[in-house]
Amino acid sequence: MNLGIFKQIFQRSWILALLGIWVALALNGCNPSQFKTAAAQVPQMVVAALGTPSTFNSALNESFYTVFGFIYDSLINENPLTNEQEPGLAESWEVSDNGQRIVITLREGLKWSDGEPMTADDIVFSYNEIYLNPKIPTPVKDSLKIGESKATPKVRKIDERRVEFTIPEPFAPFLRWVGGITILPAHVLQESVRTTGSDGNPKFLSMWGTDTDPKKIIGNGPYVMESYVPSQRVIFRRNPYYWRKDTQGKPQPYIERVVYQIIESTDNQLISFRSGQLDDLEVTPEGFGLLKREEKRARFQIYNGGVDTSTTFIAFNLNKAKNSKGQPLVNPIKSRWFNTKEFRQAVAYAIDRETMKTNAFRGLGEFQNSFVYVKSPFYLPPEKGLKVYNYDPQKAKQLLLKAGFKYNSYNQLLDADGNQVRFTLLTNAERKTRGDMATQIRQDLSKIGIQVDLQILSFNAYLDKLKVSQNWDCYLGGFGGGGVEPHSASNIWRIAGASHAFNQGPQPGDPPLIGWEVSDWEKEIDRLYVKGAQELDENKRKEIYYEYQRIASEQLPFIHLVERLNLQAVRDRFSGIKYTALGGPFWNLYEIKVAEN
């Protein structure tokens, strides 16, 4: 699968800009061991997630926790071991006209999970009627806008198995985008797209919510949903119509059943894994030492993929707009602080990342200084101009005084008008590490006179505050890794992007924003993202993305912190694992076998 099935579940964020990471096990509800007993006669795997799905409609999803990596395959898959493009639902493709024309050919005999044929009509429908439909606010749309004109691909059917994609100008990531976007079934969804509800919007916007019978969700991937219990679990069964077969003609995947448990606590997932109720676990820093001692006795292996592909940061809300009721999204007094570059830089210098790495991460992490994955050829190293903010509270104070702030007799930081500098730091509750990081940030900033209040919410409530109400001061969060391609973050860095989190503009279907402003440096990064996608020469692309990183490290819309090592514990009974940080342990799930049940 493209980036691996399990990485797709949570790392389709390079298209959907999702927040967080993956893996956990629910202790609430029924004991997972009952599933092993009930399904002892078939190969199965019990995995988990830290959050519950927000929708079963992949085109509308903005959450990090999804089912889509199980139930959909890609036209073209990216091998995380080689970074090469490989056939998926498409058996072949041809690129011509300086990369501006791609013709993909589907495999013969493809079927949807309900047995209906999958054809070129489904691809044309998915692009022209969903992803490129101005009435449907899908996050994918941002990544399909090309150049200054924001032109989108033209997609047309050649015959039942062939589809032509054309674009008006060069676009370096074009093949990855054509290959990676989920194709949806026209025979099930087309009517809902073409029919409007009483609110004037397509009925598609209310299709396939989590209240839909899971068996009615139609996909083209290795599994289908069998059942869903909200906040507890999703159970998947092998899709009988999935296209993959091994060299002996045996249907893949070999694992018949997947139990996907939900729990919003890394502590409880550790307990569940140790008790044998979970086959796989994202190893948290606090759990590593204990698990490492048990590795041989308990018959599992901890895989180390090096530094994770995700990015973890704090970001201030730079939005100066008012909502549709005329209320400022951010208190104007705080907004002036947040929009002062020296203030953001001072905060960066005041955070002791070495202590954070030692305490919150138990040494199992690396400093992060850029949004671009450190192993990407487009990563800008500090020696070439990436600004790095190592711990220096004295420099932080100097920057604040230079910017017009001052201290009172109690060593509290005040602005030029005498207002005490105090703000709320928002983060999500599921990860213990996040809480530890937030607590340290509060302590570190108190040393330079800033008072920080913590607000720790469940993931979906946290996401709602960030994306819907937008009335937050500062948040501690992250985006799932996009691999080596910088344009994967276009929906974060482009001004109109659906995940331009630090200064989110008006989005289709949302209430209007009054007085939204965009800074000059945001415009310049937007320009560089356009230019970087237009350039086909990799060395020239590097220089373009280097410049964007120089600006971002100076302006600091995201203050980078520490990123965990990619550690995963997997039971020894699974064979065929080819571990990589980009794909995780199960990117090749279709060929993994279970030695025992």
Tens of pLDDT along the chain (597 residues) come to 333 333 333 333 333 332 332 222 222 334 444 455 444 568 999 999 988 999 999 999 988 789 999 999 999 998 988 888 999 999 999 999 989 999 999 999 999 999 999 999 999 999 999 999 999 988 888 778 887 788 889 999 999 999 999 999 999 989 988 888 999 999 999 999 999 998 889 999 999 999 999 999 999 999 999 999 999 999 999 999 999 999 999 999 999 999 999 978 889 999 999 999 999 999 999 999 999 999 999 999 999 988 888 899 999 999 999 999 999 999 999 999 999 999 999 999 999 999 999 999 999 999 999 999 888 899 999 999 999 999 999 999 999 999 999 999 999 999 999 999 999 999 998 888 999 999 999 999 999 999 999 999 988 889 889 988 999 999 999 987 667 889 888 889 999 888 898 999 987 778 889 999 999 999 999 999 999 999 999 999 999 999 999 999 999 999 999 999 999 999 999 999 999 888 889 999 999 999 864
Phi, psi values for residue 320, rounded to 5°: -95, 5
pLDDT at 109: 97
CB contact set of 395 (below 8 Å; sequence gap of 6+): 346, 349
> What is the secondary structure of 470-536 as a DSSP string?
---SEEEEEE---TT-GGGGHHHHSTT-TT-GGG----TTSPP-BS----HHHHHHHHHHHHHHH--
Question: Is residue 67 within 8 Å of 262, Cβ to Cβ?
Answer: no
Per-residue model confidence (pLDDT) at position 481: 64
* Nearest CA-CA partner of 20 in 264, 340, 272: 264
Contact 17, 492 (CB under 8 A): yes
- What burial class does residue 417 get, using C-beta atoms within 10 Å of its C-beta: 0-12 exposed, 13-18 middle, 19+ buried? exposed
Q: In sequence order, what are the residues at sequence separation of 6 or more whose Cβ sits closer than 8 angstroms to the Cβ of residue 28?
A: 231, 232, 263
**Residue 310 backbone phi and psi in degrees, to 5:** -80, 175
- Closest Cα to residue 491, out of 72, 128, 62, 112? 62
Residue pair 70/258 in contact by the 8 Å Cβ criterion: yes
Residues in the chain: 597
Asked if 6 and 12 touch (Cβ cutoff 8 Å), the reply is no
Cβ neighbours of residue 478 closer than 8 Å, sequence gap 6 or more: 19, 20, 21, 310, 311, 312, 313
User: Whole-angstrom Cα distance, residue 177 to residue 224?
Assistant: 24
* Cis geometry, peptide bond prior to residue 253 (ω within 30 degrees of 0): yes
Q: Which residues pair with 282 in a beta bridge?
A: 568
d(CA 595, CA 299): 13
Alpha-carbon distance of 475 to 501, in angstroms, equals 10
Query: In 3-state terms, what secondary structure has residue 157?
Result: strand
Please name the amino acid found at residue 62.
E
Domains located in the chain, CATH noted: 5-74+191-308+565-594 (3.40.190.10), 83-190 (3.90.76.10), 312-564 (3.10.105.10)
For the chain, give the longest Cα–Cα distance: 79
The torsion defined by the Cα of 567, 570, 574 and 580, in degrees rounded to 10, comes to -10
* Per-residue pLDDT reduced to its tens digit, 6-15: 333 333 333 3
Please enumerate in sequence order all residues whose Cβ is within 8 A of that of 584, keeping only pairs 6 or more positions apart, or say none.
4, 6, 7, 22, 305, 566, 568
Q: What is the pLDDT of residue 480?
A: 74
Within 13 A of 516's CA, how many CA atoms are on the CB side? 17
Q: Are 51 and 459 in contact (CB under 8 A)?
A: yes
Single out the residue of 23, 104, 100 nearest to residue 64, CA to CA: 23
Radius of gyration, CA atoms only, the chain: 24
Q: Which two tokens stand for residue 68?
A: 């889509």
SS (H, E, C) 68-103: HHHHCCCCEEECCCCCCEEECCEEEEEEECCCCEEE
Query: What is d(CA 339, CA 362) in angstroms, rounded to the nearest whole number?
Result: 34
Whole-angstrom Cα distance, residue 178 to residue 154?
A: 11
3-class state of residue 164 by DSSP: strand
Q: Hunting for tokens 């996040």 — which residue is that? A: 434
Judge contact between 559 and 356, C-beta under 8 A.
no
Structural contact between residues 29 and 233, judged by C-beta atoms closer than 8 angstroms: yes
What does the pLDDT look like over 451-471, one tens digit per residue?
A: 999 999 988 889 889 988 999
What pLDDT sits at residue 41?
A: 67
Place of tokens 């999958």: 118
- CA-to-CA distance for 545 and 548, rounded, in angstroms? 5
d(Cα 115, Cα 242) in Å, to the nearest integer?
Answer: 10
Kindly report the pTM of this predicted structure: 0.82
